[in-house]
Structure 1
Amino acid sequence: MNEGLSGVLERQLLLQLGDRLKVLRKSRKRSMADVAQCAQISRTTLAAIEAGDPGPSMGNYVRVMAVLGVAGDLALLASDALQAAAANTAGARSRRPRPSVQVTVSTDDAHHRAQDLQSLALHEAAVRLVREDPALLAQAQATLQRWMSAGSTRSTSLWHEWDAILRSNAWSKVLGRNQRAAELRQASPLTAVLPENVRADVLAQVRALKKGVQLGASDLSASMP
């Protein structure tokens, strides 16, 4: 990957980081209230961080990492390890391979997790487009009304919730990692606004991630300012 990280891969890395921080907090038997207080953030912000939400600032992620004792991971990233060695030094003459990390969707329920990631990525793309073009919101509302007028189904309660979401732009309700958000995404009128090229791009990124994406030092340094 020579042109920076794909949007889906960036999202997966945040999801994995959030999962790791949540597991670390629980393994240390620390409550959310305790960690949030020590990190000087709200419990809502900590919950967003543990969900891999891109909304919280990097500073807030760092505060939580420090409280949980893993700030050293970030210190390594910010060290000379990923910078080019100065000319005419032993480092510059070294033939050692560049460091790399394998990022892949590889849990026991890999298909389910990949589908969740795909659904989340499609909805995040749709929300971005709706924010840029309010006409697309009307398109999603028209799709929803057409579904609801067809009669009652098992999705009716979800559609009523979607009606409120579209009216209030309450996107956080469908971009979360909780069970209700996942259920809402399964009954969603929002992805109908996605142009085919945007949809195809997201699906291609997810397929690539399922196969495993190899990141080398050049990819990591290219993604940093």
Structure 2
Amino acid sequence: MVKYTFFGYNFEHMSALDSFTVLERQLLLQLGDRLRRLRKAQGVGTVEMAKRVGISRTTLSAVEAGDPGPSMGTYLRVMSVLGIGGELALLAGDTLQPATPGSAAARSRRGRPVVQVLVSADLARHQVQDLQSLALHEEAVRLARSDPALLLQAQETLERWLSSGNSRSMSLWQEWQDILRHGKWRKILGRTRRAQELRQASPLTAVLPDHVRRSVLDQVSKLKKGVVLGDGTAIGSTS
């Protein structure tokens, strides 16, 4: 279990049954998209932005894609360069942790700032489907890493597909052979067009347990309506 704080809310990254797994993913996707739009609104290109932040263009692309790979520190550096000061103040301020007993902060009656973040999936059908596909594959990869039997089952499924004859998905399936054999999971967990095509021809989701699949679908369904984080609510509270 990994515990972390994001925008003042405590999250626990747990199992596939954790009700906030997809919420966390969509929160990063939403953040990355907004950072990309803000950079463009400021008229800053990717080369210049990466230089200002001190990261590679590849890492910047990952941040703007909402990839969980880059560290939270990298996200914060991008936010800082874009001039998002209020959020950084909340992240770094003592309002996010109990004040030291007897300190001025502890004696202060000043109310804690209220922050609300609306997390929702784009209602456009292809956006929702891609979020759902991405979430299913992240769970499938996690399970395949921990259970060699599931990985073997996916390989056997793929071999049956390949032996079935000609198909428009043949080139994708052949690429899947390499992905499964060498664990090249980043190829399928990105937001590139190729990653989306690979997920559409995936043998991995076929081996997902039904309860995991239902959990992901239920979470995506809730995100369609929008989930508000705020008013002091701790999501997956560590307390």
Instruction: Tell me, yes or no, if structure 1 residue 195 matches structure 2 residue 209.
Output: yes
Partner of 2:173: 159
Partner of 1:64: 78
Gaps of 5+ in 1: none
Shift of 1:83: 6.1
Q: Bigger CA drift: 70-79 or 146-155?
A: 70-79
Q: Which among 75, 89, 109 is matched to residue 75 of structure 1?
A: 89
- The secondary structure found in structure 1 opposite 2:232 is helix
Structure 1 residues 78, 221: closer, same or farther in 2, change over 3 A?
farther
Letter in structure 2 aligned against 1:36: A
- The secondary structure found in structure 2 opposite 1:218 is coil
Instruction: Tell me, yes or no, if structure 1 residue 103 matches structure 2 residue 108.
Output: no
Q: Which among 29, 51, 60 is matched to residue 46 of structure 1?
A: 60
Shift of 1:68: 1.4
Shift of 1:3: 8.4
Gaps of 5+ in 2: 1-9, 13-18, 100-104
Q: Which among 151, 154, 161 is matched to residue 147 of structure 1?
A: 161
Letter in structure 1 aligned against 2:118: Q
Shift of 1:112: 1.6
Contact 1:105–1:212 (Cα < 8 Å) also in 2: yes
TM-score normalized by the length of structure 1: 0.86
Per-residue displacement from partner, 1:142-173 (whole Å, max 9, x unpaired)?
00010111111111111111111111211111
Instruction: Tell me, yes or no, if structure 1 residue 128 matches structure 2 residue 147.
Output: no
TM-score normalized by the length of structure 2: 0.81
Contact 2:141–2:185 (Cα < 8 Å) also in 1: yes
Q: Distance in 2 between matches of 1:147 and 1:76?
A: 51
- Alignment RMSD, CA only? 2.8
Q: Which among 42, 67, 70 is matched to residue 28 of structure 1?
A: 42
Q: Bigger CA drift: 46-55 or 24-33?
A: 24-33
Per-residue displacement from partner, 1:3-27 (whole Å, max 9, x unpaired)?
8670100000100111111111222
Partner of 1:18: 32
Q: Distance in 2 between matches of 1:211 and 1:29?
A: 33
Count, aligned residues:
220
Contact 1:82–1:217 (Cα < 8 Å) also in 2: no
Higher helix share: 1
Structure 1 residues 27, 202: closer, same or farther in 2, change over 3 A?
same
Structure 1 residues 224, 44: closer, same or farther in 2, change over 3 A?
farther
Partner of 2:199: 185
Q: Distance in 1 between matches of 2:182 and 2:23?
A: 29
Letter in structure 1 aligned against 2:150: L
Structure 1 residues 59, 82: closer, same or farther in 2, change over 3 A?
closer
